[in-house]
Amino acid sequence: MKVFLSALLMSALMFSVAGPVEARKAERMMSSEASTSTLQDTVKKIRDDDEGVVVLFTKAKGNYYLRRDVRDFDASREKLNASLSEKKPVSVIFESETLNIVDVK
């Protein structure tokens, strides 16, 4: 019984310190709030997907993703294609955690 009451008291304290609203807000991170990074590399491969384009670079590890709902998707796609065909580096801004491409320059 004492263990049960202790557990109940601890859970009540947790909700009073950080309520469920703050906990949920911390779990969801909007794209605009995500930390971004920049890389400059040459595109090695581009593959179409249902919701966008998967991009592989020659030096950078991982699958980067350009979603169709990104602002200026067509222009960004053209720049990535140019990097692939001309074998020239392109500058890409991406979300650090998800590798979603935000902008291509």
Whether the per-residue pLDDT at 67 is higher than 80: the answer is: yes
Q: How confident is the model at residue 34 (pLDDT cuts 50, 70, 90)?
A: confident
For residue 38, which phi and psi values (nearest 5 degrees)?
-125, 140
Read off the tokens for 91.
């500058």
Instruction: Count CA atoms closer than 13 A to 80's CA, side-chain side.
Output: 29
Q: Which domains does the chain have, with CATH numbers?
A: 31-104 (2.40.50.340)
pLDDT at 4 (0 to 100):
52
Whether the per-residue pLDDT at 11 is higher than 70: the answer is: no
Average pLDDT over residues 34-44: 95
pTM (2 decimals)?
A: 0.68
Measured distance CA(84)–CA(103) in Å, rounded: 17
pLDDT at 12 (0 to 100):
58
pLDDT at 2 (0 to 100):
56
pLDDT at 8 (0 to 100):
54
Helices (H) and strands (E) counted in the chain, each on its own, are: 3, 6
Whether the per-residue pLDDT at 24 is higher than 50: the answer is: no
